[in-house]
Amino acid sequence: VEFLYCDLASMKSIRQFVQQFRAKNCPLHVLVNNAGVMLVPERKTEDGFEEHFGLNYLGHFLLTNLLLDTLKQSGTHSHNARIITVSSATHYVGKLHLNDLQSRCSYSPHGAYAQSKLALVLFTYRLQHLLTANGSHVTANVVDPGVVNTELYKHVFWVVKLVKWMTAWLFFKTPEEGASTSIYAAVSPEMEGAGGCYLYNEERTKSADVAYDEELQRRLWTESCKMVGISDESSGVP
C-alpha cells in the first residue's frame, strides 16, 4: 500500500495528486470516490465553493475526469476498470438548484448535503452514458452505504449525537459493513461490465426518479466542467 496525499476540497491538490499518480505509470483498475462532509455550517472551500458541493461532488468530478484516460487505458474487454461513487439515501430528498448550486440564496446544511449526494448520482449516470458511447472498457456505478457509525455525524445537533451514541450498536452499520457494497461494486464478478447502477446492500435498486432525467444530467455535467475549469471536449462530451 502506498499513500499519496489528495485534498478533495482543493482543485490544486487534486491536480497535483493526479500528476504524482500519472508519474508512476501505474494502471488504474478501481477508483472509489468516498470523501465527504455532512451538515457542516455554511463555509467555502479554498476555491470558493460551498463545502458540501465542492468537496462531496466537484472534487470527485474533477478527480474522475482527470483520471479517465488512465482508467480507459487500464480496462480491457474482459476486465473493465471500475469507478465507484459513494452517495447516500439522502439523495432521495435532494433537489438540484442549477441556478444556485452554491446555496447562496438560502443555506440549509441538510439541503446542501442532499443536493451534493443527488449530484453524485446524476454524475454517475451521465458518466456511464459517455463511457458507453465512447466504447470504453470502464464502468461507473453509485453506492448507498447505509447508515454507518463514523465521524461523519460530528456536526449534527447534540440530541442526535446522544441518540446515535445510545443506539448505534443496534441501528448503525459498522464501518466494515458500510464498506461492503463499495467493495462488492469494485471486485465482484457479478458486476463485470455492469454500469449505471445504484447499489444498496450489494443489490441493484432504484434511485430517485429525478436522477434519471438525462437533460438534468447533461446540464449538471456542463456546468460542473465550467466550475472546475475543464472543457466538455476533454471530458468526453460530444
Catalytic residues: 113
The beta-strand segments (E) located in 93-144 are 138-144
For residue 184, the 8-state DSSP code is H
CB proximity list for 190: less than 8 A, separation 6 or greater? none
Helix (H, G, I), strand (E, B) or coil at 2: coil
Residue 3's CB: how many other CB atoms inside 10 A?
5
Cα–Cα distance for residue pair 92/212, rounded to 1 Å: 12
Helix (H, G, I), strand (E, B) or coil at 53: helix
What does the buried/exposed string (b/e) look like for 52-89 if buried means 16 or more CB atoms within 10 Å of the residue's CB? bbbbbbbbbbbbbbbbbebbbebbeeeebbbbbbbbbe
Q: Which three cell numbers stand for residue 164?
A: 446515535
